[in-house]
Amino acid sequence: MAKKELFKENGEGEEVCKADFPPNFVFGVATAAYQIEGACNEGSRGASIWDSFSHTEGKIIDGSSGDVAVDHYHRYKEDVNLIHKFGFDAYRFSISWSRIFPDGVGTKVNEEGIAFYNNLINALIEKGIQPFITLYHWDLPLHLQETIGGWLDKQIVNYFAIYADTCFAHFGDRVKNWITINEPLQTAVNGYDTGIFAPGRREGSSEEPYLAAHHQILAHATAGSIYRSKYKDKQGGQIGLVLDCEWAEANSDKIEDKSAASRRLDFQLGWYLCPLYYGDYPAVMLERLGDRLPKFSEEEKKLLLNSLDFLGLNHYTSRFISHATSCSEESYFYKAQEMERIVEWEGGEKIGEKAASEWLYIVPWGLRKVLNYIARKYNNPPIYITENGMDDEEDNSLPLSEILDDKLRVHYFKGYLAAVAQAIKDGADVRGYFAWSLLDNFEWAQGYTKRFGLVYVDYKNSLTRHPKSSAYWFSRFLKGGEKKNGKEN
Ligand code: GBH
C-alpha cells in the first residue's frame, strides 16, 4: 500500500466524542512515583536506583533529579482535586517500593509509606476516582541493586513478590486494578544495555538485558499468582502488566521489510506476551538470540500462562521499518533485529509531526494498528491504554499564556482517541485510556526539559499548577460536550 494511503485509510482527521466509546470505558490520567513525588528523604523512604543515577554526573541532561520533583508527596490533595475537576474516572500512579520497604527486603513494613498511599487512595475514592496502581515504575530500592545486582539476580522475584503481596494486603480493599511492572523492556534495554536509564549498566555483556527481562516476567507472574490465590476472590480486582510498543509499519511491500517489521514487534511485545500467553519467547528471538535467552522451567511456564487479566499498553509513536544488516546502535539487542527505524518517507516527508522529544512523532493511525495487531495475535485480550501523550520543550522565553495554550497536544489527543474508537469498532477489546501525564514532571534522562503534562508546573514559582488547554479540552470531552465536526451542543 502506498504510504500516503495509510493516512486516509485510517481516518486521520476525524473528530471524536465520548459517545464513540462503550459506556463503561475508563478515562484516566497517569503518573509515576519518582517523576512526581519528590520528598526523597521524607516518610522514612529508602533510596532507589533513580536517586543514585540522577545524582551521578552526566546522566540527566539538565543535571536535575527527582529529589523535589513536583512535590506531589505534599500536594497530592490538590492534584486529586485537579483530576476530579477535569472529570477523569481513574488515576494511574505508581508506588515507590522504597517507601514501603526502604531497603527493598520485605522484613519490616514502613508504616509512613503505607499511610501516604492510604491517604492518596482515600482522597481518590472520596472523589469517585478509581485508582490503578503500578507496583514498579523503575525505582528499584537501591539496596537491592547494591546487594544482588537488581534484576539480574533471581532472588529479585521473591523480593518483588513480598512487596506486591504487602500492597495487595494493605490497599486491595479499595484498589481493584493492579499493574505489576511498567515497561519491562525499558528496564532491560535502557537499564542493562544502552545504560541511559538507571541502573545505567552498559557492560556489553549481551546477556544482561535478557536476564533482567526474564526476572521481570517471572516477578510479574509470581505476583499475579499471589493475587489470584490469596486476594482476587475476596477483593474482586484484576491484575495486568504494562508494555510499551511503537507501531512498526513495513517501509515497503518487500518481503524483507515486512519480516523486519514483524521482528521489531516480536522484539518489543512478543518478548513478554509470547511467554505470558504461549509459555515461551517468540521463535524469532529464540532463533536469533540462542543461549543468550534464559530458559523457563516447565513449572515456570505454567505460572506464566494465565497470569494476565489485562494488558496495559503504553503507546506514543510509530516508525516505518526496513530490513537492515548494519545497525547504528551499538547494542546487540538492536543488531539482532536487523532492522532500521525510519522517520522520513521518500521525498523527505516525516511519518508525522514531531513533538519535543527526538523519538516522538505524532502518528495516530499507528495506535489503531497496534491495537488490532494485539487483538489478532494474542486472542483479543482486554487492553487498557495506560499511557499516551506528547511533550513540549521547556522554553523560558515564551509567555505563560502561550505555553498553556497547547494546541498541538489537543490535536494529538483527538487523533489518538479517534484511533482508539476505530480500533474498538474493528473489534479490539479496549477498556480504558490514560493520558500521560497529569502534570509536567521529571522526564527521566531528559530531566525537566520536556513537558508532558495536561497541567503546567511552574518550576520557578513554587511549583504552581496551571491547567493547559488540553486539560480543559479533556474536561469538555468527558462531559460529552465535544461533538463531531467540532460542534458543541
Ligand atoms: C514512558 O515510556 C514512561 O513510562 C514514562 O515514565 C515517561 O515519562 C514517558 O514514556 C515519556 O517518555 O528513544 O533512546 O531517546 C515510553 C517509552 C522509552 C520512550 C524511552 C522514550 C527514550 C529513550 N520510552 N525512550 S530514546
Does 84 carry a binding-site annotation? no
Q: Along the chain (489 residues), what's the average pLDDT of each consecutive run of 10 residues? A: 58 79 98 99 98 98 98 99 98 99 97 99 98 99 98 98 98 99 98 97 91 98 98 98 98 97 98 98 97 97 96 98 85 93 88 98 98 98 99 96 98 98 98 99 98 98 98 97 54
The protein residue with its alpha carbon nearest to ligand 1, atom 8, reads 443
Q: Cell numbers 484498589 label which residue?
A: 175
Out of 183, 317, 409, give the residue to mutate to test ligand 1, the one with the largest number of ligand atoms within 8 Å of its CB: 183
Tell me what pLDDT residue 3 has.
65
Does 443 carry a binding-site annotation? yes
Residue 485 lies in a domain: no
Alpha carbon distance 192, 203 (integer Å): 8
Catalytic residue among 37, 246, 387, 394: 387
Q: Is the CB of 246 under 6 A from ligand 1?
A: no
Residue 324 lies in a domain: yes
Residue 192 lies in a domain: yes
> How many domains is the chain built from?
1
Integer CA distances (angstroms), 187 to 50, 212, 253, 348, 488, in order: 12, 7, 33, 33, 44
The protein residue with its alpha carbon nearest to ligand 1, atom 26, reads 359
Does 316 carry a binding-site annotation? yes
Does 444 carry a binding-site annotation? yes
Residue 488 lies in a domain: no
Out of 245, 264, 359, give the residue to mutate to test ligand 1, the one with the largest number of ligand atoms within 8 Å of its CB: 359
Contact 387, 267 (CB under 8 A): no
* Dist. CA 397 → ligand 1 center (Å): 26
Q: Is the CB of 244 under 6 A from ligand 1?
A: yes
Residue 486 lies in a domain: no
Residue 404 lies in a domain: yes
Residue 328 lies in a domain: yes
Tell me what pLDDT residue 5 has.
64
Contacts of 195 (CB under 8 A, 6+ apart): 201, 202
Tell me what pLDDT residue 360 has.
98
Q: In what order do the strands lie in the sheet with 318-323?
A: 247-250, 318-323, 339-342
Q: What is the CA radius of gyration of the chain?
A: 21
Q: Cell numbers 499511557 label which residue?
A: 387
Contact 435, 416 (CB under 8 A): no
Alpha carbon distance 112, 104 (integer Å): 15
Which H or E run includes 322?
A: strand 318-323
Supply the range of the domain harboring residue 260.
3-480
Residue 489 lies in a domain: no
CA dihedral (125, 163, 94, 23) positive or negative? negative
Q: What is the CATH number of the domain that holds 43?
A: 3.20.20.80
Contact 318, 352 (CB under 8 A): yes
* Dist. CA 351 → ligand 1 center (Å): 19
* Dist. CA 199 → ligand 1 center (Å): 15
